[in-house]
């Protein structure tokens, strides 16, 4: 009697669909086998995975040097020689390095001034550095090129404001010898000029008219928020290890098979030639 009442209560308070769900939850043998096989494949694939970190940057940075027409760059060099050259000729002294106020020349001195200028304009330091406005670079005469790849970004960050940019001018090939002769220092390929140099105003007017500003849109925000830190965006690319090794192994195997095939063919030809020679000798002996 008690057992009959218990079965009736259980049947009454059973939630519909629960028993069916329990039956469906029991995996079949085929399903468990498929899941096991898939997990093994995934595990083997994960062993060969390799993650590469790349900066996610939507801007291209291959070449941001401002374009200068060949004739314009030649005119700039001619004007520099005509206007700034006499200033250095008056400073000729065999024992001292030539000095003209408002003119920096050489790689180290120009880069140092631009770095200090960038720090001053971004509010990180305060000193009385003479601001450089025009940078002339013998781009095609300086080797290796890696030395001057940072000049576009350096000149951009050294600019005072969006309306007061540092101009970067690439001079024509072979201009290093002329610059060195004008300044009196051998292998001079970089010159920085201050806008306060009154003798070179005609040169500055030509550069302002014919040379465009450096285009680096990912740096435009330094003028508005110079001290703000922007977190870099890093993305991961999944690559598979062992692909190159496997291809090299397959290539070696194919080369080995080809060599063996060529070797067997040459051996067959040699055996055929030997048989023909023996047959010819036998015919001659019988004759």
**Number of structural domains the chain divides into:** 1
Helices (H), the chain: 2-13, 18-25, 29-47, 70-83, 85-89, 107-121, 151-157, 175-183, 201-210, 243-286
Instruction: Give residue 233's pLDDT.
Output: 77
Assign residue 140 the CATH number of its domain.
3.30.1330.30
Between vectors from CA 215 to CA 147 and to CA 173, what angle results, nearest 5°? 45
Radius of gyration of the chain from its Cα atoms, rounded to whole angstroms: 39
Q: Which domain holds residue 80?
A: 70-222
Is residue 52 domain-resident? no
> Who contacts 233 (Cβ-Cβ below 8 Å, separation ≥6)?
55, 56, 57
- Residue closest to 205 by CA, chosen among 113, 75, 101, 102: 75
Torsion of CA 158, 162, 163, 168, to 10 degrees: 40
Is residue 36 domain-resident? no
> Rounded to two decimals, what is the model's pTM?
0.62
Is residue 120 domain-resident? yes
Is residue 62 domain-resident? no
For residue 40 the two structure tokens come to 């093994």
Is residue 256 domain-resident? no
Is residue 130 domain-resident? yes
Instruction: Give residue 189's pLDDT.
Output: 95
Instruction: Give residue 19's pLDDT.
Output: 47
- Read off φ and ψ for residue 233, nearest 5 degrees: -95, 115
Is the CB of residue 210 less than 8 Å from the CB of residue 169?
no
Regarding predicted confidence, which is higher, 190 or 127? 190
- CA atoms of 272 and 203, how far apart (whole Å): 86
Q: What is the pLDDT of residues 249-286, one digit of tens each?
A: 777 777 777 776 665 555 566 667 777 777 776 666 55
Q: What is the pLDDT of residues 200-241, one digit of tens each?
A: 999 999 999 999 999 888 888 888 876 776 677 777 777 776
Is residue 236 domain-resident? no
Is residue 152 domain-resident? yes
- CA atoms of 78 and 57, how far apart (whole Å): 40
| Interval 162-178 mean pLDDT | 95
CA 119 to chain CA mean position, Å? 25
């Amino acid at each position: 009697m008690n057992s009959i009442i218990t079965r009736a209560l259980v049947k009454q308070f059973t939630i519909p669909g629960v028993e069916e769900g329990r039956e469906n939850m029991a995996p079949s043998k085929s399903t468990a086998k498929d899941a096991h096989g898939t997990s093994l494949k995934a595990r083997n694939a994960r062993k060969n995975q390799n993650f590469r970190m790349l900066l996610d940057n939507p801007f291209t940075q291959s070449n941001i040097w401002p374009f200068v027409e060949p004739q314009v760059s030649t005119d700039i060099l001619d004007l520099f020689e005509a206007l700034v050259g006499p200033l250095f000729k008056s400073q000729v002294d065999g024992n001292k390095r030539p000095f003209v106020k408002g003119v920096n020349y050489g790689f180290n001195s120009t880069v140092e001034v631009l770095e200090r200028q960038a720090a001053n304009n971004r509010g990180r330091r305060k000193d009385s550095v003479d601001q450089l406005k025009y940078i002339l670079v013998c781009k095609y005469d300086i080797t290796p090129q890696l030395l001057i790849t940072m000049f576009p970004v350096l000149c951009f960050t050294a600019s005072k404001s969006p309306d007061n940019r540092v101009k970067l001018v690439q001079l024509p090939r072979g201009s290093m010898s002329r610059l060195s002769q004008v300044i009196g220092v051998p292998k001079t390929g970089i010159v920085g000029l201050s806008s306060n140099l009154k003798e070179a105003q005609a040169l500055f007017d030509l550069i302002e008219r014919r040379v465009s500003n450096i285009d680096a849109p990912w740096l435009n925000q330094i003028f508005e928020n110079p001290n703000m830190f922007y977190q870099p965006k890093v993305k991961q690319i999944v690559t598979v290890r062992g692909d190159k090794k496997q291809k090299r192994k397959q290539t070696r195997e194919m080369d080995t098979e080809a060599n063996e095939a060529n070797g067997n063919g040459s051996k067959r030809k040699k055996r055929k030639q030997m048989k023909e020679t023996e047959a010819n000798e036998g015919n001659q002996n019988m004759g």
